[in-house]
């Protein structure tokens, strides 16, 4: 069996199935290659392209901010920071006297004649300044609607395409955006999210062009582990440029520039993206490369790692011990790891999402129904919009398998790769035809970053606490609190980032009275209770990934001497789960595999 994973999306036209280990499910049929794009910044013409040379210009709906104030993050103490800024920019900043709860964050006051936005730009250019932004003001309404036009040419037109971000069919991003603005951490400012994928169109270099809607996105510690490696702790190739479009799409979902009057929105739009290329131009990568990428991301300050990749169905943890070890290491270091469940129509979740220390994410449609392709099973934690059509296996009122439902949109290359054609790395569009659990996973990665930034779980929440919060605030689908089709339900970022609310989910607990006659020395009657394991929700790393239970999944015990057992009718109650963090990193072994 191959240990090469694949990205999650639609199968290439005419392949009829997997192409060795590549399984390029994102390449599109010819009928969809025209895409949905715009000509120019605000044109509504379908089929046009965004030029990489276009600058995303600001619109009228900018977020209001406090006059004469900047929020600045640096490792320097306040006095040294003020002196450093004055000497390097000539701007006479002063301490504002206002404190900040965020580590390393200071609120500085500017001269009355100084432009706030110009000062922010000047400070961001200084080495050692993690971020410098205006002190944004939240509206009382609690929701924030950016001005990005999408393909409509009108302010706020992004909602027409990004149904996955809005309520009730999506994840309620506007409420979450408003929550974080009120917390003075708009767009998860200060949080680092590593995107381990096919690379990202994050900069201009040779024939490669930066995606035009990454103009305001911050990228840090880039590394190409397909063309390079890690030597003495240093990445030997610092240019993880996308050759496929998949990584650019995922990174855009997380942190595409937002409220800039151009293109679409990103969920955690002020987070820093760490692009790490672990998949080649065909969308395949080895377990050892991905494991190296996970460890690199942890070493360089990632707080969340997104893995929109899957290994072939049937792959076991024992076949990818290097990656399981790296994931356990990340979890032990407090890093949230998110992965897509898989697009195989299967009743089991693929690795790496099936690993206990990973948040496994399935996909839903605009009907809030399970997507037809989405893998399910005991390892599933949450679902998020992945687009495409409804599953025919779900028989509820909101599922309509015969309907033709919308895809997921984000800016990426104008033409996707096929077996016979490479992408154009300098042309971008809002392309149709993208759906899959790859599109759902970055929603959850963004949500994790936004929960961290919101402070609702404190300054340094553990991966288990973050997962518990996301599960506790999810919208239940298909009736049961926890089920193998939807996990704990549809991600709700608005609720997850709001003050108060539940910190842990509820799980059904079945209590059974069992009468056991033994052949040892006595006959006894003993009540037993089958409950979720102590290490719940998912995210607890254990030495043996093959035997570690997932969130809310139940384990039992086998009596040693029993020969006859009679069980009474069970009763079910609902109790909150217990979140316990127990991490044991395993020893890494690196294995490079080839396509079968």
Please confirm, yes or no, whether 344 is among the known catalytic residues: no
The span from the CA of 200 to the CA of 207, in Å, is 14
Q: Quick one: pLDDT at residue 351? A: 97
Instruction: Please measure the distance between the N-terminal and C-terminal CA atoms of the chain and give it in whole angstroms.
Output: 6
pLDDT digits (tens, 9 = 90+) for 210-249: 999 999 899 999 999 999 999 998 999 999 999 999 999 9
Annotated catalytic residue: which of 197, 367, 375, 389?
197
Structure tokens at 567: 């069980």
503 and 470 Cβ atoms separated by less than 8 Å:
no
Structure tokens at 153: 């040419």
Please confirm, yes or no, whether 426 is among the known catalytic residues: no
pTM of this structure: 0.70
Annotated catalytic residue: which of 8, 184, 246, 331?
246
271 and 187 Cβ atoms separated by less than 8 Å:
yes
Annotated catalytic residue: which of 73, 438, 445, 454?
438
Residue length of the chain:
596
| 3-class state of residue 522 by DSSP | coil
CA distances from 350 to 340, 361, 427 (A): 8, 11, 33
- Residue 250 pLDDT > 90, yes or no? yes
The span from the CA of 594 to the CA of 596, in Å, is 6
Per DSSP bridges, beta strands 411-413 and 428-430 are antiparallel
Q: Quick one: pLDDT at residue 423? A: 78
Least confident of 5-9, 66-70, 138-142, 414-418: 138-142
The torsion angles phi and psi of 51, rounded to 5 degrees, stand at -80, 135
Q: Quick one: pLDDT at residue 102? A: 63
Please confirm, yes or no, whether 197 is among the known catalytic residues: yes
pLDDT digits (tens, 9 = 90+) for 333-391: 999 999 999 999 999 999 999 999 999 999 999 999 999 999 999 999 999 999 999 99
Q: What angle do CA 551, 574, 478 make, to 5 degrees?
A: 70
Q: Which of 428, 499, 544 is closest to 35 using CA atoms?
A: 428
The span from the CA of 199 to the CA of 105, in Å, is 31
Burial of residue 91, with CB atoms counted within 10 A of its CB: 0-12 exposed, 13-18 middle, 19 or more buried: middle
In the structure, what pLDDT confidence band is assigned to residue 100 with cuts at 50, 70 and 90? low
- Residue 546 pLDDT > 80, yes or no? no
pLDDT digits (tens, 9 = 90+) for 32-78: 222 322 222 222 222 345 545 444 433 334 566 789 999 898 889 99
Secondary structure (DSSP) of 71-121: EEEESS-HHHHHHHHHHHH----EE-S---SSTTEEEEE--TTS-HHHHHH
pLDDT digits (tens, 9 = 90+) for 269-303: 999 999 999 999 999 999 999 999 999 999 999 99
- Residue 570 pLDDT > 90, yes or no? no
Q: Quick one: pLDDT at residue 418? A: 58
The span from the CA of 325 to the CA of 338, in Å, is 15
Greater confidence, 408 or 13? 408
Q: What is the mean pLDDT of residues 542-561?
A: 30
Residues sharing a CB contact under 8 Å with residue 441, sequence separation 6 or more, in sequence order: 8, 250, 306, 307, 308, 338, 339, 340, 361, 384
The torsion angles phi and psi of 67, rounded to 5 degrees, stand at -65, 140
Per DSSP bridges, beta strands 230-231 and 234-235 are antiparallel
The torsion angles phi and psi of 330, rounded to 5 degrees, stand at -60, -45
The DSSP output letter for 587 is: P
């Amino acid at each position: 069996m191959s240990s090469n994973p694949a990205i999650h999306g639609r199968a290439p036209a005419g392949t009829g199935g997997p192409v060795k280990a590549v399984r390029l499910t994102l390449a599109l049929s010819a009928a969809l290659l025209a895409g949905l794009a715009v000509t120019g910044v605000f044109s509504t013409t379908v089929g046009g392209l965004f030029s990489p040379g276009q600058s995303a210009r600001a619109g009228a709906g900018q977020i209001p901010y406090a006059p004469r104030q900047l929020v600045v993050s640096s490792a320097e103490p306040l006095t040294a920071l003020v002196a450093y800024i004055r000497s390097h920019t000539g701007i006479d900043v002063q301490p504002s006297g206002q404190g900040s709860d965020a580590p390393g964050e200071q609120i500085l006051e500017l001269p009355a004649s100084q432009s706030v936005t110009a000062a922010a730009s000047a400070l961001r250019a200084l080495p050692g300044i993690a971020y410098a932004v205006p002190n944004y003001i939240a509206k009382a309404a609690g929701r924030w609607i950016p001005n990005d036009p999408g393909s409509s040419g009108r302010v706020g037109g992004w909602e027409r395409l990004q149904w996955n971000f809005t309520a009730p069919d999506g994840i309620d991003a506007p409420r979450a955006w408003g929550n974080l603005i009120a917390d003075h951490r708009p767009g998860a400012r200060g949080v680092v999210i590593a995107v381990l994928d096919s690379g990202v169109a994050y900069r201009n270099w040779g024939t490669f062009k930066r995606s035009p809607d990454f103009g305001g996105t911050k990228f840090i510690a880039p590394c190409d582990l397909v063309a390079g490696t890690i030597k003495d702790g240093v990445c030997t190739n610092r240019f993880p440029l996308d050759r496929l479009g998949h990584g650019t799409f995922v990174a855009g979902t997380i942190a595409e520039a937002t409220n800039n009057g151009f293109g679409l929105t990103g969920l955690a739009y002020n987070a820093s993206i760490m692009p790490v290329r672990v998949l080649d131009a065909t969308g395949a990568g080895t377990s050892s490369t991905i494991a190296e990428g996970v460890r690199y991301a942890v070493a360089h300050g990632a707080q969340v790692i997104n893995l929109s990749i899957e290994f072939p169905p049937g792959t076991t943890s024992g076949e990818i011990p290097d990656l399981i070890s790296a994931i356990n290491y990340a979890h032990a270091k407090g890093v949230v790891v998110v992965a897509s469940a898989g697009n195989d129509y299967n009743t089991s979740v693929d690795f790496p999402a099936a690993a206990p220390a990973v948040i496994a994410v399935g996909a839903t449609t605009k009907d809030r129904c399970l997507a037809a392709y989405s893998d399910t099973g005991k390892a599933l934690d949450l679902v998020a919009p992945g687009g495409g059509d409804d599953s025919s296996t779900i028989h509820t009122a909101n599922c309509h398998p015969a309907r033709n439902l919308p895809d997921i949109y984000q800016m990426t290359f104008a033409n996707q790769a096929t077996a016979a054609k490479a992408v154009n790395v300098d042309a971008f569009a809002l392309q149709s035809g993208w759906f899959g659990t790859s599109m759902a996973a970055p929603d959850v990665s963004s949500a994790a970053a936004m929960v961290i930034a919101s402070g609702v779980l404190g300054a340094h929440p553990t991966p288990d606490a973050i997962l518990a919060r996301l599960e506790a605030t999810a919208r239940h689908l298909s009736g049961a609190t926890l089920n193998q089709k939807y996990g704990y339900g549809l991600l709700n970022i608005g609720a997850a980032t709001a003050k108060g609310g539940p910190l842990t989910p509820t799980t059904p607990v079945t209590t059974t009275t069992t009468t056991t006659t033994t052949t040892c020395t006595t006959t006894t009657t003993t009540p037993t209770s089958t409950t979720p394991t102590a290490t719940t929700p998912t995210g607890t790393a254990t030495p043996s990934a093959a035997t570690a239970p997932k969130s809310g999944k139940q384990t039992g015990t086998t009596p040693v001497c029993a020969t006859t057992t009679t069980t009474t009718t069970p009763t079910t109650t609902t109790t909150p789960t217990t979140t316990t963090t127990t991490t044991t990193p395993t020893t890494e072994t690196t294995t490079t595999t080839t396509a079968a």
